[in-house]
Amino acid sequence: MADFETANQLGEAVASPANIPTELSFEEVIKNRTAPPCSLNDFMDYLFYVEHNAESLQFFLWYYDYVQRWSGLLPRQKALSPVWEPENASEPRSRFITYSHKRARSQKMNKIISIMEMESERNPEDPFRDQESRASISSSASSIISRPRTPPSAVLSPTESTKGDWQPFTIQPFRDEISRVVRQYIAESAPRQLNLAPKDRDNCLRAAQYTTHPSALLSAFLVAEANLRSHSHPKFIRWTASNGNRARIVFLRIVGMLLVLLGIGLDAFLILSRQSHFLRIACLVLWWPGFTVLIAAYKSLCIVLHFNGARQLRPWELANDLEQQDTDDSSPSFTPTEKDRDGKHSYRHHCRKDTQSSLSSRGADPLRKTSLQTFGPKNDYSREQWFALYRQKSLAQRIFGETAPVQNAALRLLQDRTVFYAVLCGGLLASGLTVASLFAPSGMFFL
């Protein structure tokens, strides 16, 4: 497992957002418009297994889905949960001046609120509404507007409660769901606690007791988004650009160093001998590949795998393949004739589909692990089956492990640039050493 957790540490600094292609931007990944290994499912796996920050994306996806579902409510239902403003808190307004300037007036809040207001104007109360819509609303009324199955005090623990006289409004839409989200991501004892500042956490706890409007948890959403956009996403792109694990990259560095040392040894032999100076050009055959492999390995890239259009499978992907084999008889799978958006054969089954149902927290995603659902236990993979199996693999099995095709064209373009840079720099270094060797006087010690 350490092979993949330390993959980024073997190469350069993390890529900046400015260097990331538009096809691999944060928006494209979140909307699941990118092919593997840069899909939304791969981003979730990276956060869960490598960066250990999956709760940010889990909360982000839930909030995105929640805003959409909130926009579909009737105006009379939305009226039960007003927009949260710092002035609604019981503390003096002066404590929220800085916060209001940074959050309440932010473009994101205005955009989200404006979207919901547009939905309200687009769907006014009409006695002649479509019968199917009314049937859908009535069938879900019990889940949208309901009293919590747990007492209001269970939303926050005694040590987390802000004011003893605050109680959540139990007839508000999605009250049960907001209470669960608070216990899952916001509260101090939350199993998937977000990395929030004390002021943001306190504001979310107060707001969640007052309203179920999306603005109640907007500050937590902005923190999660900023963390994903500026920190996790660039590191994810850099990580996916590496097509080998740590064992293979270290092996390539050793191979490259051996080639360079062999070239130096051959050059020294030719310099000390009475052979023609032009025979020293033969060292270029060892130096150029050696430097090229070294530079590419420094950027965590295996040139052999790149020319084959492949990458090594992650340890958890190997386990997923074994689990998928058990369900192939009862579930549809891709055939060699099916192609992805880049036109390449897609033999691997995508775990997360580009559908609203896969992003929704209303039902369990059958194509995703339970631990990666919106609601679930603490994010921990140490008890998964693949974790122990991968530790038992030998060094040779890790270096020459199974591979899969790289289906993302934009990612291949990034790797092409890295390979071109490695070949160019390797050629320049090898040529410089060869030219310097040609001007070195012969030792004339032996034939």
List, for residues 195-220, the tens digit of each pLDDT value: 999 999 999 999 999 999 999 999 99
What is the arithmetic mean of pLDDT over 133-143?
A: 36
Band of the pLDDT at 151, cuts 50, 70, 90?
very low
Do the beta carbons of residue 208 and residue 217 sit within 8 Å? Answer: yes
List, for residues 238-295, the tens digit of each pLDDT value: 999 999 999 999 999 999 999 999 999 999 999 998 888 889 999 999 999 999 999 9
| Average pLDDT for the chain | 75
Burial class (CB in 10 A: 0-12, 13-18, 19+), 79: exposed
Burial class (CB in 10 A: 0-12, 13-18, 19+), 297: buried
List, for residues 230-242, the tens digit of each pLDDT value: 999 999 999 999 9
Give the lowest-confidence range in 71-85, 89-103, 216-230. Answer: 89-103
pLDDT at position 164 over 50:
no
